[in-house]
């Protein structure tokens, strides 16, 4: 019996079609059998005595036709509704993908990050308050069939990260799958606690198919670094070679006020 318990999602439609064919066949065969058994008793008697039997016979034939027609109509309606449902699912998936892509395009980039980090580092240095930075790196897995699915996965991850941040926190996108989160007045201990929360959220966002892998690094001033350049380096080493080269040409350091 374990053979019949094995369910393959790709064969569900074919199995349903076989079930409908089997049900229709049984109904038609049983109806024909009953009609053939009734026929001699109905049409071999004199007309006057067989009128009521003939009415029953023709009523039975009409009822069988109505039942078969009803089953066929229900099958057509179900297939139509299933087609509409599949269309709506595709439409919703496309809306989700567009929303994820729009979110990624709306996130500030490297130059904005430099300005914000410079401002927050000066504030932390003058007020003797901590400053934390989270470097988030996402990598698509093999289950992501193409760029569209990768963008959707990264967009879902970005939404998960944003939902767990405070109003004064800032998130930036440096390259596909590379995010930076500036956490003003957050100590190293609190930053590690937030990192654990973000990792739990990203684990849920990956889904059952594990659409991406991720890692989060914590950098804190003054516990881990003493200068803004050292904090900057934690992000720079994650960037692709081209972006890293651009940062060395002066996209990052001047904004931080570092010579």
pLDDT in tens, 132-150: 999 999 988 877 767 778 8
Helices 188-206 & 147-163, crossing angle to 10 degrees?
140
Are 95 and 117 within one domain? no
Task: Give the Cα separation of 42 and 39 in Å (integer).
Answer: 5
Instruction: Give the SS3 label for residue 166.
Output: coil
Q: Do 245 and 252 touch, CB atoms closer than 8 A?
A: no
Task: Give the Cα separation of 104 and 35 in Å (integer).
Answer: 69
Are 160 and 243 within one domain? yes
Radius of gyration of the chain (CA): 34
**Span 181-207, average pLDDT:** 91
Are 143 and 185 within one domain? yes
Determine the pLDDT at residue 172.
93
Determine the pLDDT at residue 47.
55
Are 124 and 250 within one domain? yes
Are 187 and 226 within one domain? yes
Are 130 and 249 within one domain? yes
CA 141 from centre of chain: 14
Are 131 and 226 within one domain? yes
Q: Do 53 and 41 touch, CB atoms closer than 8 A?
A: yes
Which residues face 231 on adjacent strands? none
Are 38 and 124 within one domain? no
pLDDT tens-digit profile of 98-117? 877 788 888 998 889 888 98
Mark which of 74, 103, 132 sits at the end of a domain.
103
Res. 18: pLDDT tops 90 = no
Are 48 and 18 within one domain? yes
The total number of structural domains in the chain stands at 2
Q: Do 122 and 183 touch, CB atoms closer than 8 A?
A: no
Are 148 and 92 within one domain? no
Res. 164: pLDDT tops 70 = yes
pLDDT tens-digit profile of 56-101? 778 888 888 888 888 888 888 888 888 899 889 888 878 877 877 7
Mark which of 69, 85, 103 sits at the end of a domain.
103
Helix-strand-coil percent breakdown of the chain, rounded to 5? 70, 15, 20
Mark which of 56, 88, 103 sits at the end of a domain.
103
Q: Could you tell me the pLDDT band of residue 53, with boundaries at 50, 70 and 90?
A: confident
Determine the pLDDT at residue 199.
92
CA 130 from centre of chain: 36
In terms of pLDDT, which residue wins out, 129 or 257? Answer: 129
Listed in sequence order, the residues at least 6 apart from 180 whose beta carbon sits closer than 8 Å to its beta carbon are: 113, 133, 134, 135, 136, 171, 172, 174, 235
Are 53 and 38 within one domain? yes
- Residue 205: give its domain's CATH number: 3.30.70.270
Q: Do 178 and 137 touch, CB atoms closer than 8 A?
A: yes
Q: Could you tell me the pLDDT band of residue 184, with boundaries at 50, 70 and 90?
A: very high
Are 91 and 18 within one domain? yes
Give the domain range for residue 244: 108-256
Mean pLDDT of the chain: 80
Task: Give the Cα separation of 150 and 138 in Å (integer).
Answer: 10
């Amino acid at each position: 019996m374990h053979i019949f318990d094995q369910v393959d999602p790709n064969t569900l439609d074919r199995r349903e079609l076989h079930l409908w064919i089997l049900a229709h066949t049984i109904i038609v065969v049983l109806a024909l059998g009953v009609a053939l058994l009734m026929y001699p008793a109905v049409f071999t008697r004199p007309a006057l005595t067989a009128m009521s039997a003939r009415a029953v016979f023709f009523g039975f034939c009409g009822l069988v036709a109505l039942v078969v027609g009803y089953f066929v109509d229900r099958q057509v309606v179900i297939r139509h509704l299933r087609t509409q449902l599949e269309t709506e699912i595709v439409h919703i998936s496309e809306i989700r993908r567009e929303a994820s892509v729009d979110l990624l395009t709306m996130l500030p980039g490297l130059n904005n990050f430099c300005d914000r980090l410079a401002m927050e580092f000066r504030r932390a240095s003058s007020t003797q308050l901590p400053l934390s930075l989270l470097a988030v790196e996402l990598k698509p897995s093999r289950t992501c069939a193409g760029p569209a699915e990768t963008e959707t996965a990264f967009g879902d991850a970005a939404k998960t990260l944003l939902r767990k941040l405070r109003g004064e926190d800032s998130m930036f996108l440096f390259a596909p799958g590379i995010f930076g989160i500036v956490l003003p007045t957050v100590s190293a201990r609190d930053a590690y606690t937030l990192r654990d929360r973000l990792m739990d959220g990203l684990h849920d966002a990956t889904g059952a198919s594990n659409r991406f892998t991720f890692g989060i690094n914590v950098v804190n001033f003054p516990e881990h670094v003493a200068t803004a350049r050292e904090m900057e380096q934690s992000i720079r080493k994650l960037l692709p070679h081209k972006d890293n080269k651009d940062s060395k040409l002066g996209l990052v350091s001047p904004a931080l006020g570092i010579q």
